[in-house]
Amino acid sequence: MEKTSVLVALFAALIAVLGLVPAFPLASGVPITAQSLGVMLCGTILGSKKGGLAALLFILLTLVGLPLLAGGRGGIGLLAGASAGFIVGFPLAAYITGWLMEKTKSVDIQISVALSSIVGGIVVLYIPGLIGMMINAGMSLNAAIVAVSVYLPGDILKVTLATIVTSAIFKARPESIIARH
Amino acid sequence: MFHNISSHSTKLDEVSVHKKIIFTCSIAATLFFITSPIIMFSIFLVLLLIYFFVGGLKFLWAGFYQLKITIPFVVVLALWHFYLDHLDKGITLIFRLISAFLLANLFLMTSKVHDIILVIQRYSSSLKVFGANPHAVSITIGLFVRSIPILYQRARNLMLAQSARSTKRGFWRISVPLAISILDDADHVSEALRARGGIKKRDD
């Protein structure tokens, strides 16, 4: 119980700290940030439930008003912005990433992490993200897809990084990767 | 690391945080149902008036200054809807965004982060209904907020150590040691929590 609480709190804090790494705002109004890397790591290291809870804790406190999102953004006003869908999608993305990690325990760690973070951190995250852009920015589906495609290279970089970090930890201490217990 | 965004004293400082949360959330939710650009613009003006009456001209200016983070979003929305010739919709969306930010900032600029966290922890006891352990939730929230500045400082220290060893920089080089240090911390802190009596069971 104690360990779960602490892991959830610390990984939620990791997502917040990754937001302090400089973000690059792009034309579509959704900035490139390292925060989705944090979301992927929550899933790949902590697994579905704990990872999802960490992302949920981060999002709830951000929406209540703590300025934790990249660029010091926070507050219920975020739900009116173009990135609302991505923000709301964080817990789901972390959960699915973790769930896939748990389902691919027998596969080589690098393949398992890469697959889980591509599906969870990109595919699953982009669905609510696109819906958010369509609602809040009034874009059509095609326009929203074109707009988010700019983020793909950055996200693929994050998947690579998540794979490097998770497999390095797995090599050093396999017991720390809870998703593979 | 956390402080009031504004150092201005205002008439809303003394109003209880949970009343302000309820007010902010209900108005923000209402904004989503408004489709008329004229009503949306009027709400924006009313919010500016509230800023002025609550904290004076300086506070209004500080609130306006906080809106700078919305500039890229506003520019994109404006160009997009100008291109599509949907000016009505564009104006509604832009003023909805700006009003939502003004509203959220009004709450943040008149409340101390410490008080906000206390209210969140108090509300978390209602999670009992969903089978969550309120004591665990409350400890997790406290730990989360406390560990952000610690982890931030650690990331900076790691970056410094990295730049002392090599001219190559970049956040990714410190991500493995940072992640491992977090896992170490989790071991230490959970041991420390247990040694101090641990998290209460749901029925205690």
Residue of B nearest to A81 (CA): B97
Least confident piece of the model among A16-25, A39-48, A109-118: A16-25
Indicate if B80 and B137 belong to the same structural domain: no
Domain-embedded: residue B147: yes
CA atoms within 13 A on the CB side of B45: 6
Distance CA A165, CA A37 (A): 10
Our CA-based measurement puts residue B139 at a distance from the nearest CA of chain A, in whole angstroms, of 7
Indicate if B42 and B65 belong to the same structural domain: yes
Closest by Cα among B127, B117, B109, B8 to A9: B117
Domain-embedded: residue B4: no
Distance CA A19, CA B138 (A): 23
Number of domains in chain B: 2
Domain-embedded: residue B25: yes
pLDDT of amino acid B47? 92
Domain-embedded: residue B3: no
Q: Do B143 and A6 count as a contact with CB atoms less than 8 A apart? A: yes
Contact residues on chain A for B107, CB-CB shorter than 8 A: 65, 75
Per-domain boundaries in chain A: 2-180
Class in CATH terms, A2-180: mainly alpha
Complex ipTM, two decimals? Answer: 0.88
Indicate if B89 and B26 belong to the same structural domain: yes
- Beta partners for A24? A32
Indicate if B51 and B96 belong to the same structural domain: yes
Number of A:B CB contacts under 8 A? 186
List alpha helices for B67-198, DSSP H. 71-84, 87-109, 113-123, 134-165, 172-195
- H-helix or E-strand containing A6? helix A2-18
Indicate if B25 and B89 belong to the same structural domain: yes
Which one of B111, B136, B153 terminates a domain?
Answer: B111
Interface of B with A in 130-159 (CB under 8 A): 133, 136, 139-145, 147-148, 150-152, 155
**Residue-number span of the structural domain to which B91 is assigned:** 17-111
Interface of B with A in 10-69 (CB under 8 A): 21, 24-25, 28, 31-32, 69
Which one of B87, B111, B135 terminates a domain?
Answer: B111
Our CA-based measurement puts residue B57 at a distance from the nearest CA of chain A, in whole angstroms, of 23
Q: Do B175 and A67 count as a contact with CB atoms less than 8 A apart? A: no
Domain-embedded: residue B46: yes
Q: Do A138 and B90 count as a contact with CB atoms less than 8 A apart? A: yes
Contact residues on chain B for A2, CB-CB shorter than 8 A: 190, 193-194, 198-199
Largest CA distance in chain B: 65
Which one of B70, B85, B111 terminates a domain?
Answer: B111
Report chain A's mean pLDDT, rounded to a whole number. 88
Contact residues on chain A for B180, CB-CB shorter than 8 A: 169, 172-173, 176
Indicate if B84 and B135 belong to the same structural domain: no
Domain-embedded: residue B203: no
Tens-place pLDDT, residues A27-72: 555 566 788 899 999 999 999 999 999 999 999 888 877 778 876 6
A80: contact with B, CB 8 A cutoff: yes
Domain-embedded: residue B63: yes
Could you tell me the pTM of the whole model? 0.81
Tell me which amino acid residue A68 is. Answer: L
The tokens describing B203, both together, are: 């029925």
Indicate if B65 and B24 belong to the same structural domain: yes
pLDDT of amino acid B1? 45
Indicate if B64 and B148 belong to the same structural domain: no
pLDDT of amino acid A103? 94
Nearest to A57 among B70, B77, B144 (CB): B144
Contact residues on chain B for A10, CB-CB shorter than 8 A: 143-144, 147, 151, 182, 185-186, 189
Q: Mind listing the pLDDT tens digit of every residue in chain B (204 residues)?
A: 444 455 677 888 888 888 888 888 888 888 878 888 899 999 999 999 999 998 888 888 888 887 877 787 788 778 877 887 778 888 888 888 888 888 888 888 888 877 877 887 777 777 766 667 777 888 888 889 888 889 988 988 988 888 888 887 667 788 899 999 999 999 999 999 899 888 877 555
B194: contact with A, CB 8 A cutoff: yes
Residue of B nearest to A9 (CA): B144
Residue of B nearest to A5 (CA): B140
Q: Do B148 and A16 count as a contact with CB atoms less than 8 A apart? A: yes
> In the predicted model, what is the mean pLDDT of residues A103-116?
94
Query: Look-up: residue for tokens 């609302």?
Result: A84
Contact residues on chain B for A66, CB-CB shorter than 8 A: 2, 113, 116, 145
DSSP A36-103: HHHHHHIIIII-HHHHHHHHHHHHHHHHHT---BTTTB-SGGGGGSTTHHHHHHHHHHHHHHHHHHHH
